[in-house]
Structure 1
């Protein structure tokens, strides 16, 4: 049990290069309760469809504009918007106006381990991690299933973009 607070002053989070930012609150520092990162993304950045099977993820948008897919839903989110992405539901996003910046909340904590694995050269198409799978064995994604309105497909060991999304402007 954590019995003391902490502060991370501006510019002093632990760098997490694969997340494009820094770790403000680690799983270890919060007793496993959550992780908090700040993440910068260039214009036209794309995060492919994926599933977190053991973690809820939330974004608080600080700057830029994102097009987000979550299961059958899709939204545009901009500065001061909040986005919740529940565990077990496939999601992806694109930066449509950037550069963009967001806070990433992960509950329970530990998602920084996934980002560290990516930074250490683990191929994301083959990575099976306690928080993220690409292989369809968890959550609502089945191998070779078309997922949501996004034109991407999850296969046995990879996420394959099959074309551009045809998404209406929802915001």
Structure 2
């Protein structure tokens, strides 16, 4: 499971285009399959199970500024704490 986190500035809307996107939202786990729509309001703790397969997901945020977030976070040598802090996201304690 990816580290649970909270977006403080934006809502996130996701449309699962293909595959299964396993999510943990407010400590409840579910699988969003192709055709599913997931809305995560700002302030809602969530994470993705990155260990189980892959999915193609269209993700939309309400505020600009996260366009480069995935590339920054996963670039070689990236400091995750600095990247998420700059984007208004904070990690929370997992279960």
**TM > 0.5 fold call:** yes
2:77 is aligned with 1:121: yes
Q: Deviations over 1:42-96 (max 9, x none)?
A: xxxx432111111111110011112211114332110000001111111001157
The alignment covers a number of residue pairs equal to 92
Which structure is larger by alpha-carbon Rg, 1 or 2? 1
CA RMSD of aligned residues (A): 2.3
Higher relative contact order by CA 8 Å / sep ≥ 6: 1 or 2? 2
* TM-score (norm. length: structure 1): 0.46
Residue 83 of structure 1 is matched in structure 2 by 38
Question: Within 5 A, what are the aligned runs for 1:65-104?
Answer: 65-94=20-49, 98-104=53-59
Structure 2 gaps of 5+ residues are none
CA contact (8 A) 2:5 2:89 kept: yes
CA distance in 2, matches of 1:115, 1:96: 17
Residue 65 of structure 2 is matched in structure 1 by 110
CA distance in 2, matches of 1:115, 1:99: 16
Structure 1 or 2: more helix by fraction = 2
* TM-score (norm. length: structure 2): 0.76
CA distance in 2, matches of 1:102, 1:122: 23
Q: Secondary structure at the match of 2:89?
A: coil
Q: Deviations over 1:19-46 (max 9, x none)?
A: xxxxxxxxxxxxxxxxxxxxxxxxxxx4
Structure 1 gaps of 5+ residues are 1-45, 135-140, 146-151, 154-171
